């Protein structure tokens, strides 16, 4: 992991933490590469995937959150970015993406930072917490990897921990579509999972389990049940 850090731009492994309320969205500083990428992808997704959004009003303007989406394709982060035009999203990405210098430079410019999925990556966790404490929005895919089985994989507890520790509400986002050209992709944004309410009622592992349970329920509702594995004895599509 140390060797990986040395090969990455310094900004990907260090985030200055401020002491203000992390649940308040920080003033947004627009960056050229991120803004250009979002504009180009907006046009592309509208023309090729007839992109449609539902529930974007659930992401309160001026309030910082953790966006958590289902993960089936490398294009999923773009869907999350496009559903919140008032802010620039910071994303975790598998460290292998930075092995290519050009891609690594691009991912860094659009606020990506690496995570070692095979180990407990404390550097990535500190970076994610720093981003949230700075008042910047974090995008994460709680399954940990792309699902290729037609439904969502079990959610990892680390995603719940980031929301609980930061105090930022978690907003589930379900991306419905298979990225086939000229087939509609619908991005459904769920209601926030209130971290302050969770903290009043639960603590420790019980709190993380409750957050995960609520996320699973929200994904099931947003997807019309598509996020759930088939019943025992059933067949997958």
Q: Is the pLDDT of residue 232 over 80?
A: no
Residues 6+ apart with CB under 8 A from 167: 22, 23, 195, 196, 199
Q: Which of 129, 111, 95 is nearest to 1 (CA)?
A: 95
CB 168 within 8 A of CB 66: yes
Exposure string of 55-72, with b = 16+ CB inside 10 Å and e = fewer, is beebbeeeebbbbbbbbb
Q: Is 102 exposed, middle or buried (0-12, 13-18, 19+ CB in 10 A)?
A: exposed
What is the mean predicted confidence (pLDDT) over 12-23?
Answer: 57
Query: What is the rounded distance in angstroms from the CA atom of residue 172 to the CA atom of residue 150?
Result: 18
Q: Is the pLDDT of residue 9 over 80?
A: no
pLDDT at 22: 93
DSSP, collapsed to helix, strand or coil, labels residue 54 as strand
pLDDT at 211: 97
What tens digit of pLDDT does each residue of 129-187 get?
999 999 999 999 999 889 999 999 999 888 899 999 999 999 999 999 999 999 999 99
* Helix, strand, coil percentages for the chain (3-state, nearest 5): 40, 15, 45
Q: Is the pLDDT of residue 104 over 80?
A: yes
Q: Is the pLDDT of residue 17 over 50?
A: no
CB 84 within 8 A of CB 157: no
Q: Which of 180, 145, 162, 166 is nearest to 70 (CA)?
A: 145
Tokens of 30: 């627009």
pLDDT at 3: 46
pLDDT at 8: 44
pLDDT at 234: 52
Q: Is the pLDDT of residue 68 over 50?
A: yes
Q: Which of 82, 194, 178 is nearest to 139 (CA)?
A: 82
In the chain, what are the domains? 2-19+54-222 (3.40.1130.10)
Q: Is the pLDDT of residue 201 over 80?
A: yes
Q: Is the pLDDT of residue 52 over 70?
A: yes
What tens digit of pLDDT does each residue of 206-226 get?
999 999 999 999 999 999 999
Q: Which of 148, 176, 184, 170 is nearest to 215 (CA)?
A: 170
Q: ∠ at Cα 78 (177, 30), nearest 5°?
A: 155
pLDDT at 133: 95
Q: Is the pLDDT of residue 18 over 50?
A: no
Q: Residue holding tokens 């930072």? A: 113
What is the mean predicted confidence (pLDDT) over 102-119?
Answer: 87
pLDDT at 122: 86
pLDDT at 15: 39
DSSP, collapsed to helix, strand or coil, labels residue 231 as coil
Q: Which of 20, 1, 7 is nearest to 130 (CA)?
A: 20
DSSP, collapsed to helix, strand or coil, labels residue 216 as helix
């Amino acid at each position: 992991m140390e060797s990986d850090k040395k090969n990455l731009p310094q900004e990907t492994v260090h985030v200055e933490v401020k002491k203000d309320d992390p649940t308040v969205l920080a003033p947004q500083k627009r960056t050229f590469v991120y803004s250009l990428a979002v504009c180009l992808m907006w046009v592309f997704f509208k023309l090729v995937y007839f992109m449609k959004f539902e529930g974007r009003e659930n992401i309160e303007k001026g309030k910082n959150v953790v966006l958590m989406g289902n993960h089936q394709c490398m294009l999923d982060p773009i869907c999350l970015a496009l559903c919140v035009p008032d802010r620039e999203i910071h994303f975790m990405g598998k460290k292998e993406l930075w092995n290519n210098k050009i891609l690594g430079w691009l991912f860094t410019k659009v606020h990506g930072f690496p995570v070692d999925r095979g180990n407990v990556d404390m550097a990535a966790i500190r970076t994610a917490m720093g981003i949230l404490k700075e008042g910047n929005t974090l995008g994460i895919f709680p399954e940990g990897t792309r699902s290729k089985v037609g439904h969502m994989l079990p959610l990892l507890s680390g995603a719940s921990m980031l929301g609980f520790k930061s105090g930022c509400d978690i907003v589930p986002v379900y991306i419905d579509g298979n990225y086939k050209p000229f087939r509609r992709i619908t991005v459904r944004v769920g209601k926030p999972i209130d971290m302050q309410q969770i903290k009043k009622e639960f603590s420790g592992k019980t709190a993380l389990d409750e957050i995960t349970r609520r996320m699973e329920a929200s994904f099931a509702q947003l997807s019309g049940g598509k996020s759930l594995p088939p019943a025992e004895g059933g067949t997958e599509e």
